[in-house]
Structures are given as C-alpha cells and as structure tokens.
Copies of this chain bind each other. A is one copy, B any other.
C-alpha cells in the first residue's frame, strides 16, 4: 500500500485556492464529527474536512490529493453501519454537505438529477409535490451519495430494487482529477461498459460520484398493511415464496423472529405474540384491487398455517404496524440502556432463510449472546442486532458475527446485502469472491494507482 503523506502547508494552500478558505477546516470539532458513523467501528479523524461546492472542485481536490499522496474519504450523512466513511488513514474527509441541490427534475421521465449531499428523505419530501419518490429506503436520512456508495437498499427493495437498480447516470470524479459522465437518461442502455453500476457500491474507492440521475416511481394511490404470525420460520418463508410466486408484487415483505416479536409485543404494547412475523406493505392503484390482493395474501397465509392475520387498508392502522418495526432499534436501546451494538447485515437466497435463522439462533446460544433478528424476507436479507456492554461480550459478538457471515456465504449468499463492505466485511471478501477479488484489485489499481480513494475499505490490508 502506498505510503501516504500528511496534508502539507503547500497542499492546504492548493486546496484553499480550489474551494475557498470558508470550505475547509482543520478544527477538531469538525474532524471529530466526521470520525465515526453509526456502527461500532472505532473512530478515526481526518486531518482536514473539505466541503466542495461543485463537481469540478471535487475533481480538483482529488487531483491535488493524488499528486500529494493524501488519502481522501468521502462523507455523506454519517448514517452508514459498517464504518464506510471513517477516514482510517487520516487525510481529507471530503464532505458533500454543501453539495445537496436538486440539479434538474424531469417529472415526465420519472427522473431527477441531484448532487450527492442531499438526504433521500429530504429529496422525497420535495418529490412528493409531483407525486413521485425515490424508492430505496435505508431508514436514517442517508445522503444519496452514501446510498450510491454502499448500494443501500431497505424494505421496499423487494418491489422497487436497491439503489443500483434506480440510477441511470452519474458524474464521477476520478483520482487523477478527470471528471466523467457514465450512463445516460435513457432507461435502456447497451452502449459499452456499465461504469454506472461499477461506481455504485464501490464505496468511493474507484471514484467519487459528484452527481446522479435517479429513477423515480409514482407514489402508490392505495397502500395496505399486513401482519401475519407463523408457527415456524419455515412456514413464514413458505408464505414469502408463495406470495412472490402468486405474481403479487408486494412493496415490502419483512421478517421478524419470535424473540424480537415478543420484545416488540411487550415493549410497544402490541399483540404480536412471540412467533415469527411477516409484515407487509402492498401498493395498488385502486382500493378494489388492494382488497383482492389482501384476500389472496390471506388465502396463502391460511393455507400455510398462519396463527394470526391482520390486513388493513386503513392508513393509520398500517402506519401503526410499521411504527413498531421502524422503532425497533430505539426500543432495544431503551431495554438495554448503556449498551453498545453489533449490527449485522447478511443476505441469502430466500429458500435458505430458515437454515440461516436457525444458525443464527444456535450461534447466539453457543456464544451466550442475546440477539434480535429481523430481515427483508422478500429478498433474503437478514439483520442481527446484538447488544454488549463489556469487552468479553463484545468479543463473543465478534465471533458470532464471523460464524454467521461464513454461514451466509456458504448458503450461496453474501456477507453484506445493503450496508456495504466498509471496514467490517473486508476480511470476508476473499472467501466470498475468491479469484474475483483479484479482478477487483486490478480495477482499483487501474483507476486509483496511488490508492488515495477511501483506503482501508473493501480490501483488507493483507
């Protein structure tokens, strides 16, 4: 790995001349604020925070940093969960907080072009005026740039796809200061290599996205909610397969394991029982067709031995159902005051969900750990949340994490479905990708030969 250099006085002056003295800071408070994300990974401070205002400035910052061998780590909203924006090797924290504009709304094309610093919730609040929204929903008000970097997803991916599936074009600054445009505003594209998809999910290690054209969806006219409790995980997953197989394009299809359902029941005052739960959202164009969809879902669930079933087209009741799910982490924090958290993200083929959930339960037991399992069942994505409040327990959560990740890979899945590799998953890349990891290294070497772009992420040091 390149021997990086500290930010010299000369480099500082060059950067100042590019972004202006008001758009950079070496104040400790600014650096500390951008030294950690929402994960358990240890903080690390950059030497300098830089807030570019334009794509050209981003490219010029990279050009200067590249020539000076100063590492650059992009910063969005800090809501990531795998240490992705932590400036592990110091250098520059390249913050997009001042590049947060909508560049162009193309409502008739169901597209919007934005700068990366805008939060997706803020974006959706604006788009709602036109009846449109950007579908990927990672939860916290993540920046679009961060969502692009990690290929973020969320509950509605089962219908609308992940971030990657909803981007048509990007503008990217390369390590050497070139500024390129990838893709086009056409939905169908077959014109050469898919650089757009290569950049998305590369966590700022191949280039830094400075603008993106996103696909938008019309906000559904009718949204329904369904809550169903099943005797076993296997029965719940059978229902997932049957519902998808019916052709119903359910907008969210979430799984909550028995112990987590029990905790939510107790703490939130809802009657969710203590068996595995499926929580769904159904989008329709008419109330009448929503009723038909809900009847079909009920029929499928009944045939698979559902223990409790509630479907509603009432929006207050639907929001109530989802509130308990969305507030889960806050609930956990209340129940485990002062604890720290290991948040795990893995994904497997749907049919392997029962095997994975069994394995998680067994691993928690073996390691004397408490853990809560929820998942985006419609796409086989599982999160395990483990509290710890001492070093011995932390070590056991780390062991459990590794065991479960290897199991997910063994089941034909992946070490990360939506949080990205960041720091925590780098050590699994070799097992997951084999010789393909060498190809990723080749691409990294070709586009960032000095390794200044977000070093320490995706690729482990050895």
Residues of A within 8 A of B (CB): 106, 108-111, 131, 150-153, 157, 161-162, 164-165, 174, 178-182, 184-195, 197-198, 200-202, 206, 217-221, 241, 244-249, 283-286, 288-289, 292-293, 296, 345, 347-351, 376, 379-381, 409, 412-421, 425, 428-429, 432-440, 442-443, 445-447, 458
Contact present for A187 and B218 (CB under 8 Å): no
Residues of B within 8 A of A412 (CB): 184-186
Contact present for A189 and B414 (CB under 8 Å): yes
Contact present for A285 and B248 (CB under 8 Å): yes
Contact present for B186 and A347 (CB under 8 Å): yes
Nearest first, the 8 closest Cβ-Cβ pairs linking A and B are A188-B417, A197-B197, A187-B379, A289-B289, A185-B412, A186-B347, A180-B436, A108-B351
* 22 chain-A/chain-B pairs, Cβ below 8 angstroms: A109-B349, A109-B351, A111-B349, A150-B190, A151-B189, A161-B165, A180-B435, A184-B432, A186-B349, A187-B349, A188-B414, A188-B417, A189-B414, A192-B421, A192-B458, A193-B198, A193-B201, A193-B440, A197-B198, A218-B244, A221-B246, A439-B447
Report the bound CA distance from A416 to B189 in whole Å.
Answer: 6
Contact (A195, B380) CB under 8 Å given A285-B296, A349-B106: no
Report the bound CA distance from A284 to B246 in whole Å.
Answer: 10
Residues of B within 8 A of A445 (CB): 446
Candidate in A178, A192, A421 with the most chain B CB atoms within 10 angstroms: A192
Q: In the assembled complex, how far is the CB of residue A313 from the closest CB belonging to chain B, in whole angstroms?
A: 14
Contact present for A184 and B443 (CB under 8 Å): no
Q: In the assembled complex, how far is the CB of residue A462 from the closest CB belonging to chain B, in whole angstroms?
A: 16
Report the bound CA distance from A417 to B47 in whole Å.
Answer: 45
Residues of B within 8 A of A284 (CB): 247
Residues of B within 8 A of A409 (CB): 184
Q: In the assembled complex, how far is the CB of residue A422 from the closest CB belonging to chain B, in whole angstroms?
A: 10
Given contacts A106-B351, A109-B351, A150-B190, 12 further A-B contacts (CB under 8 A): A106-B349, A153-B188, A157-B188, A178-B438, A180-B434, A187-B417, A190-B414, A191-B414, A192-B201, A193-B202, A194-B197, A198-B198
Copies in the complex: 2
Q: In the assembled complex, how far is the CB of residue A62 from the closest CB belonging to chain B, in whole angstroms?
A: 14
Residues of B within 8 A of A189 (CB): 151, 201, 347, 414, 416-417
Residues of B within 8 A of A446 (CB): 442-443, 445-446
Q: In the assembled complex, how far is the CB of residue A189 from the closest CB belonging to chain B, in whole angstroms?
A: 5
Residue of B nearest to A429 (CB): B192
Residues of B within 8 A of A165 (CB): 161, 165
Residues of B within 8 A of A347 (CB): 186-189
Residue of B nearest to A178 (CB): B435
Residues of B within 8 A of A417 (CB): 186-190
Candidate in A106, A247, A445 with the most chain B CB atoms within 10 angstroms: A247
Report the bound CA distance from A330 to B153 in whole Å.
Answer: 44
Report the bound CA distance from A300 to B179 in whole Å.
Answer: 43
Residues of B within 8 A of A152 (CB): 190
Contact present for A108 and B415 (CB under 8 Å): no
Residue of B nearest to A111 (CB): B349
Residue of B nearest to A200 (CB): B194
Contact present for A413 and B186 (CB under 8 Å): yes
Residue of B nearest to A217 (CB): B247
Contact present for B381 and A350 (CB under 8 Å): no
Contact present for A379 and B221 (CB under 8 Å): no
Q: In the assembled complex, how far is the CB of residue A374 from the closest CB belonging to chain B, in whole angstroms?
A: 14
Contact present for A190 and B111 (CB under 8 Å): no
Contact present for A349 and B429 (CB under 8 Å): no
Residues of B within 8 A of A285 (CB): 246-248, 292-293, 296
Contact partner of A289 (CB less than 8 A), chosen from B150, B186, B292, is B292
Contact present for A419 and B109 (CB under 8 Å): no
Report the bound CA distance from A387 to B438 in whole Å.
Answer: 48
Contact partner of A110 (CB less than 8 A), chosen from B217, B244, B429, B442, is B244
Report the bound CA distance from A315 to B64 in whole Å.
Answer: 64
